[in-house]
Structure 1
Amino acid sequence: MTRIESITLEVPDPATAGSFYTAAFDLGPELSLRGSQEPTAGFRGFTVSLIVSQPADANGLIDTALDAGATVLKPATKSLWGYGGVIQAPDGTIWQVTTSSKKDTGPATRKIDDIVLLLGVFDVAATKQFYVDRGLKVAKSFGRKYVEFDFASSPIKLALNGRLSLAKVAGVPADGSGSHRLAINADVGPFTDPDGFSWEDTSAVHPSDTGPGGQ
């Protein structure tokens, strides 16, 4: 089964970004960083969701991210689907921190249950077919609006949303241009999808790529 081992964020200063991500989320090998000055502006077309067990966990991660230099795009609040908020890292990456629970059931922890990469695409049906043709299996599909792929055993899950819808969820205008500043590291590819998202072979993550701690 296809696995996404990690994502690589391209950032202006990997050391500075690494310090932020270590303080904010303390992610492990699921996240790597590499230097890039590729032009980018506006919405980069993706968000990363950190799924946690309860509101207290979401609040804790959001608070430490804000203390480390993130900014709020949407304050954490209850919704029809649960509880969560949206923040933007100093490097520009948008992170959702959410839970399906609306009530705390125990002391707050920093445990992250799932990491979900959401790609905002112009044609959900066409991009879904593109990935199916490359061997990905669909777990859930809601017409031309939303698709989840089957990555049950993968460190990072993958979903597709319409670009306009994802920008609305993130709380930003949908306009954007230039590099996504993102690479998806998996056991398929390398290739570039219809929306310009780059997939790299897991072996292509080279020694100059660093983890969030700069190591």
Structure 2
Amino acid sequence: MENSPIIISFPIADRRTSFDFYTTGLGLSPLGEVADDGIPEPLQFQINDGVQLMLIPSGGFGWVVGNREVASSSQSETFISITADGESGVDDLIKKAQDAGATLVTAPAQQPWGYVGAFTDPDGHVWQVTAAAPPK
């Protein structure tokens, strides 16, 4: 299991909206073969060497996890944290995500744990962007 990638899965409302947001807003590269709609199926992105993001239409998401109800976009049980290069990297990524349709959750600011900001993707999933710690 050491070499197995971690795959984070989110329910989504619309494949095209999510594809456009994650490619344009976050600059992620999609994985897999392109389907008839021009979007890879399954819709996955490589976040880094060990983590992938899979986006599953809401109707199928609950089925995949044993017919569980999918949480509404206003509920968050988890959020994804990513690291940017310094404060300007946080500011830039938050702005780029907003330009692509993200909703600002918290404006970038200094917090006790570092310089951070957060946004939601078009389906309400929360992403926190943290500045890389300066070298010691």
Displacement of 1:81 in angstroms is 2.1
Partner of residue 11, structure 2: 10
Displacement of 1:67 in angstroms is 0.5
Higher RCO (Cα < 8 Å, 6 or more apart): 1
Displacement of 1:44 in angstroms is 2.9
How do 1:66-215 residues align onto structure 2 when only pairs under 5 Å count? 66-101=98-133
Amino acid at match of 2:57: G
Gap runs ≥5 in structure 1: 103-215
Partner of residue 54, structure 2: 32
Matched residues in 2 for 1:3 and 1:55: separation?
32
Matched residues in 2 for 1:100 and 1:82: separation?
9
* SS of corresponding position for 1:90: coil
Matched residues in 2 for 1:40 and 1:2: separation?
31
Rg comparison, structure with higher value: 1
Matched residues in 2 for 1:78 and 1:100: separation?
13
What is the TM-score normalised by the length of structure 2?
Answer: 0.66
- CA deviations on 1:87-130 (whole Å, 9 max, x unpaired) are 1111110000012447xxxxxxxxxxxxxxxxxxxxxxxxxxxx
Partner of residue 23, structure 1: 24
88, 96, 103: which one aligns with 1:56: 88
Q: Is the 8 A contact 1:52 1:58 kept in 2?
A: yes
Gap runs ≥5 in structure 2: 30-45, 47-51, 63-69
Show structure 1 runs of 4+ deviating over 3 A: 2-5
What is the TM-score normalised by the length of structure 1?
Answer: 0.43
Matched residues in 1 for 2:112 and 2:8: separation?
29
Partner of residue 43, structure 2: none
- Quick one: percent identity of the two aligned structures? 29
User: How many matched pairs?
Assistant: 102
Q: CA RMSD in A?
A: 1.9
